[in-house]
Structure 1
C-alpha cells in the first residue's frame, strides 16, 4: 500500500540547492557570463527570444544560463517574465524592405537586384567536428569585399513578382487592428495575423516536422524559397504629442517568403501563392518552416481540401506552443497518488467482476507477479 509522502518542503529545497550546484558546475572553471552566452551561443539566445515573444538578448542569455541550456525551460522563464511587464504602446509594422541586410539569399533568381549576400551560415560547411573547437583558437577576420553597385536597393523577390502580377497580392487584412495572442485566447477559425503570431511563438521542431510533411505530400506545398533575409530593422511608435513616428530601437529579424504553386480561376489569371515567416533573431530554419505551414493553413483561401495534419488549423495551432505542451506532458511526473489509487481500485473491481483468477501475467521479459 502507498503511504503519504512526508518532508516534501525540505526535499524540494534540497533539490533546488542541488540544481544550483549542478548549474554552476566545476568551480575550477570560470562561470559563463551573460555576454559570452549572448555572443557565442547567439542562435540559442535568438530562439529563446523568438519563442518567448520578448526581444532582449541579455535577458534571454540569463534564462539560458538559469535553465542550464534547456531552451524550452528558458522560453518558459521568458514568457513568465513577459507577463509582468507593462504595455505602453503598439509599434508600427516593421519595414523589412528597408532592412540593414546581413544575409540575403534567393533560390528563385541568381542575379537578384541587390545581390546575394551569404552572410554567416552553416550552409556550405562540411559538418565535421573541428579540432579547433577544443580550445580557444584565434579566429581570422572575414575578408572585406566591396558591396554590389545596387546593394543599397534590395527589393523583395515577391515584390518583383508582384510588379508583373505573377504572385497573389500581399497584405491580407491590411489596415485592420491586429489581434494579440498574448491577451486574447486562441479561437477557431483564426485570422491569419493570429495564426502567424502562434507560429512565430511555436516550437521550431514541431513546425519543422510539419513543414517537412508538406513537402512529402501531406499538404499542397511545393515551394521555392523566394527570399530569406536577415538583418536589423527599425522599430517605430506613433507618439500623439509629436505627431510623427519615433524610432525607439532596432531588432534583428529573419524573414522568409515562400513562393508556392499556382492558384487561379475563370475570373482570375493563374498566380503563384505565398507563405510567410518572420521571427526574432537569426532563425532561418524556423522562418522557413513557419512559411511552409502558413501556406498549408491557407487551404480555404484557395478552395483546397484539408486532408493533411499541416492543413488542420486547430491541430497545428493548439499543439505548436512548446510551453503549453511542456506543461501538459511534464505534469505527468508530479504526484498523482489519489488518481492512481482510484484507477487501481477500479481495475481490481473489474477483474473481480470478470472472475479473473490468474496469479501471473506472462510477458516478454518473464513472469510478472500480479498482487491481488
Structure 2
C-alpha cells in the first residue's frame, strides 16, 4: 500500500496549507460541525464505518470532514486510526433476532409474523429534487413526528422476531445453515489467504467498496453467476453488544450498534451432492446500508458455487480471488494513485528501451530495402 512520498518539504507544506484552505471553503459560510455531519449525513457516515471496520459515528464524521467528502479517503483515515487502537476483548456474536428494528421488509412473505415495517427509506419517494430543503430552518412537520424507534430508553426490551428463513427451514425447503463454534479469522489482523472460508469472504465483502460489490451483484442478476435471488428479509435496527467477563462468569452488555442485515433466498435445482431446495445469501453491514447488504448477500451466494456442487461458469462474481483481491477500495486506491507519484527513473528506462527498439526496427527495414 502506498501512503506517502518524501521530498520538496516546502512545497509539500504549502500543498497542505492550500488543502486546508480548500477544505474550509468560503469563510463567510459557517463551518460544518461534526454533529451536523453525523446526524444529517448518516448514510455517508455509515458507509465509512462499514468499509473502515470501525463503529464510531463521531470519528467517521470527522474523517468525512477532513477528507472534504471523499468517502474513500475517509475510510482510509478510519482504517489508519483503527490500527492504533488496543483490543481489549472479543464480543459475543450479536443476536439479530432480538434487534430493535426501525425497518423490516420481506419480498417473499407478505404477512410475516411481526409485520412489515417500512421505516426510513428512499424506496417510496419520487426522486425529485426537494427545493424546500434549500430554505433555511426546520421543516414544519419535523418536530411533530412521533418517535417510532423500538427499544428506546424507558421501553421494554425488543421482542425476539424470528427470521423469515426459519419458516422455510421448518419445512425443509431451504439449506441448513450449519452452526460452528470455530472462531473465524480476523481479516483486519491477519493477511488474506486463499482459498478463504465463508466467514473470511463475508468479512472481505463487508469491508469492500460499495460500488464494486454492487456491480458484481448486478452482474449476477444479469446472468453472470446463475443465481436468482429474492430478498427473504431485510432488517435495520440496533443490537446489543456483549462481552464475556471471566471474573463475573457471565456476559455484560457494553453498548449497541446499528446494523443492516439481509438474507436472500435463491433458487437451486440441486446438484450431485445436494437435493433441490432454496439456498441462502447473507449480508451484514454497519449502520443503515441496504444497497450494500443486499449486494453483499448476492455476491456471497455466487461465491458458494463450489460448496453447493455447482459449475463454475467463469463469472467474475464466482471468482473468489477476483472478488476478494479487488473489492478493497483502500488497496485499490493505493495501487492506482501511486502511479501519479514520481516514476522518473522507470520512465527513462522505458524511454531508452523504446528508442533502441525503434532504431533496431528502422535499421532492419533499411537492410531489407537495400537487399531488394
Provide closer, same or farther for how the CA distance between residues 17 and 163 of structure 1 changes in structure 2, counting only shifts above 3 A.
Answer: same
Provide closer, same or farther for how the CA distance between residues 146 and 181 of structure 1 changes in structure 2, counting only shifts above 3 A.
Answer: closer
Whole-Å separation in 2 of the counterparts to 1:234 and 1:209: 32
Q: CA deviation at 1:55?
A: 0.2
Whole-Å separation in 2 of the counterparts to 1:272 and 1:38: 40
Whole-Å separation in 1 of the counterparts to 2:53 and 2:236: 18
The reply on whether 1:185 has 2:188 as its aligned counterpart is no
Q: Deviations over 1:239-260 (max 9, x none)?
A: 1001001100000000000000
The reply on whether 1:56 has 2:56 as its aligned counterpart is yes
Residue in 2 that maps onto 1:19: 19
Conserved 8 A contact 1:236-1:249? yes
Residue in 2 that maps onto 1:243: 249
The reply on whether 1:116 has 2:116 as its aligned counterpart is yes
Q: CA deviation at 1:234?
A: 0.3
Q: CA deviation at 1:75?
A: 0.1
Q: Deviations over 1:105-162 (max 9, x none)?
A: 0000111110110110000011010111212343314367899xxx945211111211
Conserved 8 A contact 1:92-1:236? yes
Q: CA deviation at 1:355?
A: 1.1
Residue in 2 that maps onto 1:77: 77
The reply on whether 1:165 has 2:172 as its aligned counterpart is yes
Provide closer, same or farther for how the CA distance between residues 105 and 350 of structure 1 changes in structure 2, counting only shifts above 3 A.
Answer: same
Provide closer, same or farther for how the CA distance between residues 53 and 115 of structure 1 changes in structure 2, counting only shifts above 3 A.
Answer: same
Tell me which of 212, 232, 237 is aligned to 2:238.
232
The reply on whether 1:259 has 2:265 as its aligned counterpart is yes
Residue in 1 that maps onto 2:327: 320
Residue in 1 that maps onto 2:210: 204
Whole-Å separation in 2 of the counterparts to 1:166 and 1:129: 44
Q: Deviations over 1:262-311 (max 9, x none)?
A: 25357754220010000100001000000000000000011112221100
Residue in 1 that maps onto 2:42: 42
The reply on whether 1:353 has 2:356 as its aligned counterpart is no
Tell me which of 337, 340, 352 is aligned to 1:333.
340
Residue in 2 that maps onto 1:218: 224
The reply on whether 1:66 has 2:66 as its aligned counterpart is yes
Residue in 2 that maps onto 1:368: none
Whole-Å separation in 2 of the counterparts to 1:192 and 1:251: 23
Conserved 8 A contact 1:104-1:229? yes
Residue in 2 that maps onto 1:126: 126
Secondary structure at the counterpart of residue 77 of structure 1: helix
How many residues align? The count is 349
Residue in 1 that maps onto 2:309: 303
Question: TM-score, normalised to structure 2's length?
Answer: 0.90
Secondary structure at the counterpart of residue 302 of structure 1: coil
The reply on whether 1:32 has 2:32 as its aligned counterpart is yes
Whole-Å separation in 2 of the counterparts to 1:31 and 1:42: 18
Q: CA deviation at 1:38?
A: 0.3
Conserved 8 A contact 2:263-2:282? yes
Secondary structure at the counterpart of residue 231 of structure 2: strand
Secondary structure at the counterpart of residue 245 of structure 1: strand
Worse overlay, 58-67 or 133-142:
133-142
Conserved 8 A contact 2:175-2:278? yes
Whole-Å separation in 1 of the counterparts to 2:145 and 2:19: 40
Q: Which blocks of at least 5 consecutive residues in structure 1 are unaligned?
A: 1-5, 359-372
Whole-Å separation in 1 of the counterparts to 2:88 and 2:219: 40
Q: Which blocks of at least 5 consecutive residues in structure 2 are unaligned?
A: 1-5, 151-157, 366-372
Whole-Å separation in 2 of the counterparts to 1:84 and 1:138: 40
